[in-house]
């Protein structure tokens, strides 16, 4: 079984003052983009871990793979033990299914998972969260659970504030700490983005801590949401000036190179506005067509040595679509 896990960008992100539970109230417009990880699951006997000498497995990883669920990846440094959300999700699903008497309890068949990573980590693109959502979706299908999107989304919230979004995308307004998701029309004209990937990770908790230190956050910005459906009709040059990311100031304080990169990108074109996604490090800007997006990416490539990706917003992929593939390479 193979499932795709799309990346997201936060088109708009307003953050309120920190709550008693340590999380911040949000109002964010999130949208998937056509940059995908792929998760392939195979049920049944699995080769022993020793057969995979090329894997960067630590002793902890090897111990984990004795469990019913084992994970491998093409990423050189990504953990394949409980340090990876995919493995934590699988363990939690096994617990829940055993406790609630759902699925194949008792002698569970082994599942071998292979994660093909294309979404960079620590980039504000929701890669780990999307992988977690894909794991829930795939295991629910394998176990023939009749979990609705609402049930999966509710289960998903324990793994991170933006995991529930991936059961509702491709374009949604997320509130609460991010887990309350309401679908909204995707941009109809500003349909392409160039993602600028600076090549370093931003630690989300530190960005929020810096946000608190700067005494930022007003709940007023959350109380009066803009008319997102009207924004979705705007051309990119009219939409970009309306978009805000309240985490830019603390992220730029922690990582001044990111502010410098944004300034440099904005100088490349008159009136070009560049925003940050999530808590960084990805910067993005929007376009109405693929040709102008590619042209901008080409110019950035001449001026900088950052990673670049021209992507379509809200790609037409049924995120719940899955394929059973006998030839899947795991
Ligand atoms: O929920 P998630 O695991 O993605 O959150 C990571 C960290 O980001 C949290 O521990 C918290 O420090 C911060 N966060 C926050 N408010 C949110 C979401 C995340 O303060 N709404």
The pLDDT of residue 10: 98
The first and second tokens of residue 285, run together, are: 């800007």
The first and second tokens of residue 12, run together, are: 């708009």
Cβ proximity of 166 and 130 under 8 Å: yes
**What percent of the chain stands above pLDDT 90?**
77
Q: Given the CA of residue 208, which atom of ligand 1 is nearest to it?
A: 20
Return all residues near 116 (Cβ < 8 A) that are at least 6 apart: 37, 38, 39, 40, 73, 74
β-bridge partners, 286? 193
Of the pLDDT bands very low, low, confident and very high (cuts 50, 70, 90), residue 53 is: very low
Counting Cα atoms < 13 Å in the Cβ hemisphere of 299 gives: 13
Mean pLDDT, rounded, for 289-304: 94
Task: Write out pLDDT tens, residues 229-269.
Answer: 999 999 999 999 999 999 999 999 999 999 999 999 999 99
Q: Does residue 196 sit in helix, strand or coil?
A: strand
The first and second tokens of residue 25, run together, are: 């109230």
* pTM recorded for the entire structure: 0.90
Q: Given the CA of residue 279, which atom of ligand 1 is nearest to it?
A: 8
Q: How many of the other CB atoms lie within 10 Å of CB of 142?
A: 19
Mutate to test the pocket of ligand 1, among 85, 126, 202, 204 (most ligand atoms within 8 A of CB): 204
- Sign of the four-CA dihedral 136, 137, 143, 147: positive
100 Cα: distance to centroid of ligand 1 (angstroms): 29
Burial class of residue 61 (count of CB atoms within 10 Å of its CB; 0-12, 13-18, 19+): buried
Q: Given the CA of residue 205, which atom of ligand 1 is nearest to it?
A: 12
What are the φ and ψ backbone dihedral angles of 24, each rounded to 5 degrees? -110, 140
Catalytic residue annotation = 8, 162
Cβ proximity of 194 and 296 under 8 Å: yes
The pLDDT of residue 60: 35
232 Cα: distance to centroid of ligand 1 (angstroms): 27
Of the pLDDT bands very low, low, confident and very high (cuts 50, 70, 90), residue 128 is: very high
Q: Given the CA of residue 177, which atom of ligand 1 is nearest to it?
A: 21
The first and second tokens of residue 97, run together, are: 């299914």
Task: Write out pLDDT tens, residues 257-267.
Answer: 999 999 999 99
Q: Where are the alpha helices (DSSP H) in 124-198?
A: 127-142, 149-156
What are the φ and ψ backbone dihedral angles of 177, each rounded to 5 degrees? -90, 10
Of the pLDDT bands very low, low, confident and very high (cuts 50, 70, 90), residue 104 is: low
Mutate to test the pocket of ligand 1, among 14, 20, 24, 161 (most ligand atoms within 8 A of CB): 161
Mutate to test the pocket of ligand 1, among 16, 205, 279 (most ligand atoms within 8 A of CB): 205
The pLDDT of residue 317: 77
Averaged pLDDT score across all residues of the chain: 88
Return all residues near 77 (Cβ < 8 A) that are at least 6 apart: 56
Cβ proximity of 10 and 124 under 8 Å: yes
Q: How far apart are CA 302 and CA 323, in angstroms?
A: 40
The pLDDT of residue 103: 64
204 Cα: distance to centroid of ligand 1 (angstroms): 7
Residue nearest atom 15 in ligand 1 by C-alpha distance = 23
Return all residues near 105 (Cβ < 8 A) that are at least 6 apart: 97, 98
Query: Which residue, 316, 279, 246, 309, is CA-closest to 129?
Result: 279
Counting Cα atoms < 13 Å in the Cβ hemisphere of 321 gives: 6
177 Cα: distance to centroid of ligand 1 (angstroms): 8
The pLDDT of residue 16: 96
Which comes out higher in pLDDT, residue 325 or 315? Answer: 315
Mean pLDDT, rounded, for 203-217: 96
CA distances from 13 to 7, 16, 172, 210, 250 (A): 16, 10, 12, 16, 13
Q: Does residue 258 sit in helix, strand or coil?
A: helix
The pLDDT of residue 47: 52
Q: Does residue 114 sit in helix, strand or coil?
A: strand
Residue nearest atom 4 in ligand 1 by C-alpha distance = 160
Total count of residues recorded for the chain: 330
Query: Which residue, 113, 106, 56, 105, is CA-closest to 89?
Result: 113
Q: How far apart are CA 40 and CA 239, in angstroms?
A: 37
Residue ranges around ligand 1 (CB below 6 Å): 23-24, 26, 160-161, 177-178, 204-205, 208
Residue nearest atom 3 in ligand 1 by C-alpha distance = 160
Mean pLDDT, rounded, for 66-88: 92
CA distances from 215 to 175, 249, 250 (A): 21, 11, 10
- Sign of the four-CA dihedral 96, 139, 159, 232: negative
The pLDDT of residue 67: 76
Give the range among 54-58, 156-160, 284-288, 314-318 with minimum mean pLDDT: 54-58
């Amino acid at each position: 079984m193979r499932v795709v896990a799309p990346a997201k960008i936060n088109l708009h992100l307003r953050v309120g003052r920190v709550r008693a539970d340590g999380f911040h109230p949000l109002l964010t417009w999130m949208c998937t983009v056509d940059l995908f990880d792929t998760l392939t699951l195979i049920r049944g006997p699995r080769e022993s871990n020793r057969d995979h000498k090329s894997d960067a497995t630590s002793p902890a990883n090897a111990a984990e793979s004795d469990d019913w669920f084992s994970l491998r990846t093409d990423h050189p440094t990504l953990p394949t033990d409980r340090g990876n959300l995919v493995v934590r999700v699988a363990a939690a699903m096994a617990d829940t299914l055993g406790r609630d008497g759902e699925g194949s309890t008792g002698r569970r068949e082994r599942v071998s998972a292979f994660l093909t990573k294309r979404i960079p980590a620590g980039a504000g693109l929701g890669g780990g969260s999307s992988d977690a959502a894909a794991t829930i979706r795939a295991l629910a299908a394998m176990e023939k659970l009749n979990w609705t999107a609402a049930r999966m989304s509710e289960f998903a919230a324990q793994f991170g504030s933006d995991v529930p979004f991936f059961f509702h995308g491709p374009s949604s307004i997320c509130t609460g700490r991010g887990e309350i998701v309401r679908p909204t029309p995707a941009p109809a004209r500003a349909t392409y983005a160039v993602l600028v990937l600076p090549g370093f990770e931003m630690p989300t908790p530190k960005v929020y801590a810096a946000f608190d230190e700067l005494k930022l956050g007003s709940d007023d910005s959350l109380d009066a949401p803009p008319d997102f459906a009207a924004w979705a009709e705007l051309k990119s040059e009219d939409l970009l000036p309306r978009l805000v990311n309240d985490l830019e100031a603390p992220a730029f304080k922690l990582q001044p190179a990111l502010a410098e990169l944004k300034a440099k990108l904005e100088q490349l074109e008159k009136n070009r506005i560049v925003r940050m996604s999530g808590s960084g490090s990805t910067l993005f800007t929007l376009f109405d067509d693929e040709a102008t997006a590619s042209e901008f990416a080409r110019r950035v490539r001449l001026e900088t040595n950052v990673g670049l990706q021209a992507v379509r917003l809200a790609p037409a992929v049924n995120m719940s679509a899955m394929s059973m593939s006998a030839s899947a390479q795991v």
